[in-house]
């Protein structure tokens, strides 16, 4: 068992497929991860399970990996999903990280509108094309230049760029950018199918990405940052906000407008 | 038990049974991590150089006596699990007994606006009246044009950290 703690999760799952189900049971979403090189022991630490849940998770995994010599689970705890609702504690973020979580809200609003946008898509008219390009502008300016830049240029800079969990985030951002380029290309070629495909792929990507950040990455990063770093980061975010001026407000109005346009 | 036990802030408690003989307190001298003087809120100047851009502690008087490792945990640059960073500047006050607390609000505001402090950590005791210190800090922060992250830490009367949260 011990040797597997230092192995990448993809490798462990490949060798012992039932581990995937155990991780899912504890809401640890490593199974669909595209990188999968996080070490088994890091994964357990990053997800901040209670000591009892961690112990029972490890006991279940060791039963699969090394049957016969498993870690004894004193009082076996049910996995997270079976816990009563009241036990799930609200995540408390530091002020700068909370700001990022709040920015996710507008991004989530826009991506939730994507199916409606696709349904009403008309690439034959200039207005129809403009609407898609406005959405692209929102993604590029708000989600990417404003929000992802805060993550990449400020928050992530406090951590080792070689950490797998950070690498996965960078990779998601890059994949998102590639979908946006494909959307623009599709609009130019008036290729409705391709635009719809990449819009949906972007929606799926960012939905998972934001969930990972809100629920796992950010709380974990928050726990590593010192008080001094939190203060510095807060000041740097404020500088970024100052630089962007009224632009975020404009995008908020844009998303609200699309939401009302498609509400009926 | 008696129905009326009075103010929880001044209710008598006896911890003598616990850790007789010093518990696991380190033997010998503990170096002071204090980097300034004065420290009492009426005496300090918010413009003193050690507040400039600093991580500042606003501590209720009693915390230093209740919390065994006050210097290493809260003042030191290395910090304990609750602090860390570059070491802290400090101001102390008692929200229950001190007079002229409007001066405190002005000074906290000046820390935020003029000294451009990096963060403010409010350290209070678990007794309800100590929350008053956090209220002062919040009031000052709301009136300040500049914003800084504010954290509060609640210490129990037997020296344990009960809560630590960003406001
Ligand atoms: Fe991100
Ligand atoms: Fe994000």
Summarised one tens digit per residue, pLDDT across range A192-238 is 999 999 999 999 999 999 999 999 999 999 999 999 999 999 999 99
Q: How do residues A136-195 score in pLDDT, each as one tens digit? A: 999 999 999 999 889 999 999 999 988 888 999 999 999 999 999 999 999 999 999 999
Average pLDDT over residues A26-34: 68
User: Hey, what domains does chain A have and what are their CATH numbers?
Assistant: 2-85 (1.10.3910.10), 95-261 (1.20.120.520)
Selecting from B55, B147, B167 the residue whose C-beta is nearest the C-beta of A228 gives B55
pLDDT-derived band at A19 (thresholds 50, 70, 90) equals confident
- Closest residue in A to B150 (Cα) is A95
Looking at the complex, does the CB of residue A228 fall below 8 Å from at least one CB of chain B? yes
Distance from CA of B70 to the nearest CA of A (A): 16
Nearest of B135, B104, B94, B86 to residue B42 by alpha carbon: B104
Which pLDDT tens digit goes with each residue over B69-86?
Answer: 999 999 987 765 555 567
pLDDT at A87 over 50: no
Nearest to A50 by CA among A79, A30, A22, A74: A79
Q: How far is the CA of A209 from the centre of ligand 1 (A)?
A: 6
Contact call for B118 and A96, based on CB within 8 A: no
> What is d(CA A160, CA A145) in angstroms, rounded to the nearest whole number?
22
pLDDT at A6: 76
pLDDT, one tens digit per residue, over A95-145 is 999 999 999 999 999 999 999 999 999 999 999 999 999 999 999 999 999
- Output the CA B20–ligand 1 centroid distance in Å: 52
State how far Cα A15 lies from the chain centre. 27
In chain B the domains, ranked by start, together with CATH numbers, are 49-166 (3.40.50)
């Amino acid at each position: 068992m011990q040797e597997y703690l230092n192995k990448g999760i993809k490798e462990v799952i490949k060798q012992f497929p039932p581990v995937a189900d155990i991780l899912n049971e504890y809401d640890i979403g490593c199974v669909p991860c595209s990188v999968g090189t996080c070490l088994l022991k890091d994964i357990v630490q990053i997800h901040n399970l209670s000591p009892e849940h961690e112990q029972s998770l490890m006991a279940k995994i060791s039963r699969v990996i090394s049957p016969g010599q498993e870690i004894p689970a004193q009082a076996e705890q049910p996995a997270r999903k079976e816990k009563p609702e009241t036990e799930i504690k609200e995540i408390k973020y530091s002020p700068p990280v909370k700001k990022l979580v709040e920015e996710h809200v507008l991004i989530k609003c826009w991506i939730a509108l994507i199916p409606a946008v696709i349904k009403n898509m008309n690439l034959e008219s200039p207005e129809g094309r403009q609407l898609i390009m406005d959405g692209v502008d929102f993604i590029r300016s708000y989600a990417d230049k404003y929000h992802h830049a805060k993550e990449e240029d400020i928050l992530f800079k406090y951590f080792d760029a070689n950490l797998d969990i950070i690498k996965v985030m960078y990779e998601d951002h890059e994949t998102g950018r590639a979908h946006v380029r494909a959307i623009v290309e599709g609009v130019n070629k008036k290729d409705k199918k391709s635009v719809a495909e990449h819009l949906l792929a972007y929606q799926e990507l960012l939905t998972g990405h934001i969930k990972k950040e809100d629920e796992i990455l950010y709380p974990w990063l928050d726990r590593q940052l010192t008080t001094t770093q939190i203060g510095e980061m807060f000041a740097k975010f404020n500088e970024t906000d100052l630089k962007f001026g009224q632009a975020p407000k404009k995008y908020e109005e844009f998303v609200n407008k699309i939401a009302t346009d498609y509400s009926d | 038990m008696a129905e009326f036990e009075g103010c929880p802030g001044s209710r008598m408690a006896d911890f003598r049974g616990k850790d007789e003989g010093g518990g696991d307190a380190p033997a010998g001298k503990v170096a002071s991590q204090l980097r300034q003087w004065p420290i009492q809120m009426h005496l300090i100047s918010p413009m003193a150089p050690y507040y400039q851009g600093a991580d500042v502690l606003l501590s209720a008087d009693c915390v230093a006596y209740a919390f065994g490792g006050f210097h290493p945990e809260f003042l030191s640059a290395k910090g304990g699990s609750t602090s860390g960073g570059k070491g802290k500047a400090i101001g102390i006050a008692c929200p229950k007994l001190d007079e002229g607390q409007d001066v405190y609000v002005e000074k906290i505001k000046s820390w935020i606006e003029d000294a451009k402090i990096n963060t403010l950590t409010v350290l209070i005791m678990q007794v309800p009246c100590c929350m008053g210190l956090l209220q002062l800090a919040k009031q000052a922060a709301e009136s300040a044009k500049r914003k800084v992250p504010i954290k509060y830490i609640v210490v129990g009367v037997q020296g344990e950290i009960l809560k630590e949260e960003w406001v």
